Every structure is written in structure tokens, then in C-alpha cells.
Amino acid sequence: MKKLLTICFVATTFGMTMNAQPKLSADNIDEVLKAMTLEEKAKLLVGGANNFFSANAVVGGEATLVAGAAGTTPEIARLGIPATVLTDGPAGVRINPTRRGTDQTFYATAFPIGSCLASTWNTELVGQVGQAIGNETKEYRCDVILGPGMNLHRNPLCGRNFEYYSEDPFLTGKIAAAYINGVQKEDVGVSAKHFAVNSQETDRTSVDERLSQRAAREIYLRGFEIAVRESNPWTIMASYNIINGTHAMGNRDLLTSILRDDWGYKGIVMTDWIGIRQGLTTISEVQAGNDLMEPGQPAQVQEIIDGVKNGKLAIADVDRNVRRMLEYIVKTPSFRKYPASNKPDFTAHAAITRQSANEGIVLLKNNGTLPWKNIKSVALFGENSYDFLSGGTGSGCVHPPYVVDMLEGLKNAGIKSSETLTDIYRKYIAYARVKFQAERHPAKWFQTEAMGQQKYPEISLSPIAVEKEVRGADAAIITIGRQAGEGIDRDIETEFNLIPEERQLIFDVCQAFHAAGKPVVVIINSGSVIETASWSGYPDAILCAWQPGMEGGNSIADLLTGKVNPSGKLTMTWPIAATDHASTKNFPGALDDYSLMQMLGNGQPIPGHAYTNHEEDIYVGYRFFDTFKRDVAYPFGYGLSYTTFEYSKPVVKAKGQTVEVSITVKNSGSVSGKEVAQVYVAAPKGRLEKPAQELKAFAKTRELQPGESQTLTMTIPVRNLASFDEANSQWLTEAGTYTFRIGANSRDIRCTAEAKLAEYTEQTSNALAPKQKLNLLKQ
């Protein structure tokens, strides 16, 4: 009897002890942290793997909680810590559209890609897009969308430029902050990426990006800094590459000294999806300030445990990171047990994507032919007129319920298209799709429809076939498509430049239709810059539609017919030639044998691509072209309208630590429209070398009726006028007279005003010093 009572007592005590375990809440994080075992702490810092390294995981394999999601954080049920789900983005939720055991489809809205979204220069609209994406993230039972992509367009050949916003860090930061605030309004998180200096795809997991501290601070980090200060992203993703000799994922200067100490960041940092890699340990990642190792492997958990036990890793570092993870988890829909519907409002979100594409499409040329009047039928040329590219490839692709191509968009606007051309191109695309997959190189992991729409080679049409289309059409459209994505950069000859078939098509169509007095419009369906200078003289109008999401055909028809007046402006310079960029000589070309294992970082660095020297330094994009007075095809900030705008009454007032700039914009034309006023600042000559001018503010008007005016007021913090003073590890706004140049693009300045400013300094950490001397470009 005594033995039985003892057993009962022990059992009761054990049950009470188990029941006494704290359950995670926002108010007891320290208590839960104290209750966690070392094994549980290590587990929480390592992702849930999600079969990432299985045969088909990279192309969206079966995840534990949401099929096709990129990753998870692990569950610790004993302490009430749920698993959370991370999904790819940033142009929409990227999950598998089909799942085992159900006939339901799980499509997601394909929103405009980053370069199109930024070309709206409309932060309010970008915020609406972000909120819609945040809603779909939540409704599909995910907690974080892996975006926005915030790397700079250092060079037009980067394969992933379509995901990013601009060559300018200020514009990047403002657009990203608007996107992040929109997403996080829905109580889900973002992962701003790729932090930092991820300026190429070739050998991205091993390349050493070598650059000055000034270029790092002013060009490659400034956008992230703006986003951190203005939108407080839940998470930030550390990039694959090396920076000045140290992997970004294990770079304490980057992840702690700059991000947390200088900027005050409070969220979590996660790795990009790499697992265990050469030259980097999980211990060093934890010590640097990486809170979450994705996609996660058991060996990483064991490395953390062993590191604490053998003294190589301080438990204080582990506890610091675990606390951040718990602070993240209590904010998530998974923790709040949000009842995900798996049924987003596609109708409402389609309207948002259509509007954002309408404002992001850029009118590059117009000799008066647009907007169309009395155009009833059109001859549609180019295979991408019928297989329209809504987005790019790789982790940034989205699986939408539909894509409106040019044929359907024109039909919806009441415009007929050639049945003969439709038959030719439809049959060709069906053939090309089968042929493309049959000939796909086994190492080309990205060449599959699961990783996004593919671009098929353009076909030739004889001049006779083209001439036959003139009789039955009032106008012609030629769509020039370009596809790019994760894992590989673009080449100059076939992806930046036009191929011979495209050049001949433009020439033949323009010759035939112009002979009959009929207009020709070229639509550029590309996520990135292409060469235009050699052929832009032929067509009557050129629209850069980018990859504008699943409503793309409707959006383009809206602009062609005048239902919408174009208001998009370029967020990057379009050079005459790719080699005109100062960075091109230090930018790698695409590699035919770039394998999946090299992409994952599990192989040796690619010979000849071990490092990239940023010799152009701070002279990226228009900072180079405008300072060194180089000719361009289209300048930064450029974009035409169907109306005209006048600028007047520039006023600049220094108010303590801010400068207030106001300008009156008047619609001086005959149709309503929107205009973007851009403020470029020229600094006085001082001890630090400066570009000729830098974008420091912008604002977009409302829809102005003919004759209507609006006064735009913009506030610029004096600290945003600072350059980075490497010698003293500080931001420095030198005293003197600053010129504020307000215009329609970087080379169309309409008004100027001046303000005298006192010196401003702000001390920072001495971080990211290069380990070797660089030959930097000087004025």
C-alpha cells in the first residue's frame, strides 16, 4: 500500500510539473526562454527543412504545413510554440497551386514585378499592393512573405533585377517601406532581402563583393536603412554572398554593428536558403546575429548544442537569438490561430494589380499615335503577344489563376486581332513549349514551368506574310519579350540586345504599315532594361510594360486606348549599350554550365568569378551617367504622358534638421493625368567628392484635370543629404549652399532653388572595411 501511494505521489507530482510548464504568450517570453532546454533553443534557431534538399523541393516540393512554401520555423508543443510558415514572394504568394488529397487549386494573384511597381512612384498605391499580398499570405496560412527584394540595379545584366526596385537607394527604400507597411497591416511579416550587396546571380553563393565603406553605406545599405527606420520589417534575410572577405550570413559588422547598433533594428535576421556551406559555420552565424538558419538541417541543431557544451558558443548569444525568435512568433497568425480560408479575394486583388500596372507602365516614345482613336482591328506580332510574361522566374515567380495576354486584353477593349497571326503564333508556342522541355539541359534547374513562365525564341515571318496583315488591320503591335530570374545573369547579345529575328520583324512591320499610313506600337514585356537606341526610330510608339502581373493585357489596353493616361517613370537609366555602365567591366556574364549545386553553394567557386570589384564606387546608375555627362537612351526618372505639365513656384525652406521643398505642378495639356515631381540635390563643393546630383525626394500628383494645379510639399531630413565620411566613420552633411533641382526626370529639370545649411554629423560604427585596396572611379 505504501509503495502504491509513493507511485501515485510521484505520478501526480510529474503531472503537476508538466502542467506547470509555461505556455508562450507576449507577456512571458523570458519565462518561456528560461524553461527551454538547450536542445529546444537550438532547434528554434534552425528552420524546419521542408524537404528542401529532396529531389523536387527546390521547385516547390511538399512542405509540412503549406505545400510549396519555402520554409518553416519548428514547433515546440510543450511550451506552446507553434510552427510558422515562410513563403516565397515578393510579387505574390508562391506556393504550389495543387495539393495531394484535394481538387482545390491554390492560385495566388500575380502582382506587378518590383521594377514595374517602383515605376509607379506612388507609395500609397504600393502600400495597397502590399496589403493585398499580406492578405493572401495570411489566407494561405503563411506568416511571412520573403520579400521585398531590395538589391540595387547595379548593372542591367543582373538576372534578378525584375524583383528589385531601382538603381537608386532612396527610391528603393521609400518603395520598400510602403510595401512593407502595407503587408504588415495584415498582421503578417516580410523578409526584406537580400542583405546586402547581392548585385549578381552568377556564383552568388561564393562571390566576394569588394567595395568601399562609403559605397556600402550610401548605395547598397541606404535603402535597407530607410526601410528599417520607416517600416520596421519583422524579418530581414541575409544574402548568400561574401562582403569584403566575410560571408554576409556570418558578418557581425553587417548584422549587428550596422543593422542593430547603428539603425536600431529589433526584428529577426534569417539566412537565405543555403543550409551548411563551405567557409561558414552555424556557430559564426549565431554569433554574428543570425537568428534563423534556413532551410535548416539537423546537423546545424547539433552544431549549436555542441558549440555551447564545448565553449565555442556562448549561451548568451543563443538566448539573445531565441528571445528574438519568440518575439517574432507571438506576432504571427500561426500563434494567434488565425483561421486561414485558402480563398483570397481574387476579384478585389485583380483590380489592385491592374491599377498598379497601369501606373507602372512607362511610355518611352509617342509621335502622337497614342492614345488610339478609331482603331478597330490590330495585327499582333511577336510570340509574347500570345504568351505574355506576367512575372519572372525562380523563387520570385507566382502561380496565378490566369494571365491576360495582349490578344485577350485588346478583345476586352473591343479591338479585333488577326486570326491568321493568332493561329500561327498559338501553334508555334505549343510546339516551342514541347521542344524547349525536351532539349532542356539537366543542370538548368530554373528552366521549368514550375519556376515561372518560359521565354521561347522569336520566329521569323516573311515580308510577304507581314504585308498581308496590313489590309485587315488599322494598326500593328509588336511585343518584344525577355525572361530572367534567379540563379543566372543575362547576356548582352541575346538578352540585352535584340536578336536578328526581332530586329527584322520591327523593320518589316514598320515598313509595311507605314507605307499604308498605319501606326506601329512596340510593347516591351521585360522585367529588365533592354537595348533600344538602334531601333527606337522605327515604331511610332514604345511602351515599356515590364512584367505587369496577371492583368497585364488589360492594363496595356487601358493605356493604348486612352482609358488611362501613362504616368510611370523609369527607376533606372536605360543606357545606349550595356557596356556604357561603369560596372559592366566588373560584372560577370552568364555561364552555360552553372549547376544546381553551384547555385546552392555546395560546390567550388566558379573559376574567374571569385570576386567582383566595385570600382565604380558610388557612381551607380544616373550618378555615373549624369556626373560624367554620358549619353543615354532614356534617363533616370523618364516617362511620357498624353498631356503636358508645367512646374512653378519652387520654395525651399530650411527648418532645423529638415528641409521643406514645395513645387506647384499644373496640367497644361488637354487630357487629365498624373505627374511625378522629382527633387535632385546638388551639394556644395567640400572635402568629400559628390555626384553631380542625387534624388532626395519625390511626390506624385493626384489625377489633374486640364488646367488644374496641385502644390506638392516634400520634407527632406538633413541627415538624408549626408555622405559617408570613411575617415571619421560618420555621416556628414557639409555646411554650404545646396541646390534643389526639381524636374520630370534627372535630365529634365524645370525649377531650382537654394538653401544654406549648417554642418550635420552622425557617428556610426566602423564596419565593413575592405581588406584590399580598390581602384575607385574618380571625377
**Which sequence positions are flagged as catalytic?**
272
- Distance CA(676)–CA(567), nearest Å, equals 8
Helix (H) or strand (E) holding 751: strand 748-757
- Distance CA(625)–CA(380), nearest Å, equals 36
CA atoms within 13 A on the CB side of 685: 1
Q: Are 176 and 236 in contact (CB under 8 A)?
A: no
Helices (H) and strands (E) in the chain, counts: 21, 26
Q: At what angle do helices 298-309 and 315-329 cross, to 10 degrees?
A: 140
Going by C-alpha positions, the residue among 678, 642, 633, 706 that lies closest to residue 363 is 642
Instruction: Find the angle CA(513)-CA(517)-CA(521) to the nearest 5 degrees.
Output: 55
Q: Are 476 and 410 in contact (CB under 8 A)?
A: no
- Distance CA(284)–CA(40), nearest Å, equals 19
Instruction: Give the position of cell 523536387.
Output: 56
Phi, then psi, of 630 in degrees rounded to 5: -95, 140
Strand blocks (E) in 10-75: 71-73
Q: Are 238 and 271 in contact (CB under 8 A)?
A: yes
Which CA distances in Å does 488 have to 153, 361, 446, 491, 601? 15, 26, 9, 10, 14
- Distance CA(65)–CA(86), nearest Å, equals 10
- Distance CA(541)–CA(520), nearest Å, equals 7
Instruction: Give the position of cell 519556376.
Output: 451
The three-class DSSP label of residue 255 is: helix
- Distance CA(710)–CA(699), nearest Å, equals 11
- Distance CA(287)–CA(290), nearest Å, equals 7
Q: Count CB neighbours of 136 within 10 A.
A: 27
Instruction: Find the angle CA(14)-CA(16)-CA(20) to the nearest 5 degrees.
Output: 115
The cell numbers describing 419, all together, are: 486570326
